[in-house]
């Protein structure tokens, strides 16, 4: 069951396919650059700093190859999401990652953040779903892969 709020977040997400970066930081930068002109991003540099700082503390990675670089920061007005698909896995820590979901959340939106993260973390543990997601060429296809659940 997908909440309408989660669908809205996924629908407004920016898809980067393919991600050409070779390292985790380059991949994050590539996704961040796709958000630079997003209307809800107030300060892209501050968002970058916050995401990289969060990565230093404890990078959130699912063992089947999904990374969630994210930050709670007031450099965004509303939750923003960039989805990166890596045809060539990018290594985050020790884990080769095929799918990157970069999330920027306003500080006050704890519930929204937990809702989205919970949804993604629950479904991206499912290998067939993940396989379908990395094949998506557009946000619509990406959403359809979830809709089939």
Partner 1 sequence: METEEKRRRLSPILRWLLILKVWLIERFRLGERQVTLLWAAVIGFLGALAAECFRRVTDLLHYICTGSSAEIITSFEHLPLWQRFLVPVVGGLLAGLTLWIGNRLIAAVRQKSTTDYMEAVVVGNGIISFRASLVKTISALFSIGTGASIGREGPLVQLSSLIASLLGRFRNSPIPQRRHLVACGAAAGIASAYNAPIAGSFFVAEIVLGTVVVESLGPLILASVVATFTTRAMHGESPLYQSPDLGLHTRWEIVPLCAIGIFLGLLAPLYLRILRWTESLFAKLTLPVPAKLALGGAVVGVLAMFYPQVCGNGQGLVASLFHQNWDFYTVLLLLIVKLIATSATFGSGAVGGVFTPTLFIGSAIGVLYGQAVLYFAPQLRPDPTMYGLMGMGSFLAATTGAPLMAILMVFELTLSYAIVPFLMVACVLGYYCSSFFEHRFMYGESLERKGAAFFNSQLAEVDLVDLIKRDPLTLPQNATFAEIAQNFVQHQFQHIYIIDDDRRLLGAVSLHDVKAFLDRPELETVVIAADIMDENFPRISPLHSMADALKKFSETRSERLPVVDNLTSQRLIGSISKTDIILHLAGEESRPKVQRAVSSDLEKAPS
**Residues in touch with partner 1 (CB under 8 A):** 54, 57-58, 60, 62-63, 68, 70, 72, 94-95, 107, 110-111, 113-115, 117-118, 121-122, 125
Work out how close the CB of 133 gets to partner 1 at its nearest, in angstroms, rounded to a whole number: 16
For residue 62, the minimal CB distance to partner 1 (Å) is 7
Q: Smallest distance from the beta carbon of 97 to partner 1, in angstroms?
A: 13
Of 68 and 142, nearer to partner 1 (C-beta) is 68
Closest separation between CB of residue 96 and partner 1, Å?
12
Q: Are 86 and 99 contacting, i.e. CB atoms less than 8 angstroms apart?
A: yes
Nearer to partner 1, 41 or 65 (CB): 65
Say if CB 33 and CB 102 are below 8 A apart.
no
Phi, psi of 92 (to 5 degrees): -110, 110
3 state SS for 41-81: ECCHHHHHHHHHHHHHHCCCEECCCEECCEEECCCECCCEE
How far is it, in rounded angstroms, from Cα 116 to Cα 3?
A: 9
């Amino acid at each position: 069951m997908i909440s309408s709020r989660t669908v809205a977040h996924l629908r407004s997400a920016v898809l980067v396919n393919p991600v050409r970066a070779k390292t985790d930081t380059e991949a994050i930068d590539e996704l961040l650059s796709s958000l630079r002109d997003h209307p809800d991003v107030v300060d892209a540099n501050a968002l970058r700093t916050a995401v990289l700082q969060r990565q230093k503390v404890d990078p959130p990675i699912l063992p089947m190859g999904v990374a969630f670089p994210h930050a709670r920061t007031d450099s965004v007005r509303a939750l923003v999401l960039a989805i990166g698909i890596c045809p060539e896995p990018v290594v985050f820590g020790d884990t080769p990652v095929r799918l990157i979901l970069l999330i920027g959340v306003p500080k006050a939106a704890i519930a929204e953040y937990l809702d989205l993260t919970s949804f993604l973390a629950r479904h991206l543990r499912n290998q067939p779903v993940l396989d379908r997601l990395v094949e998506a060429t557009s946000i619509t296809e990406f959403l359809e892969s979830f809709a089939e659940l």
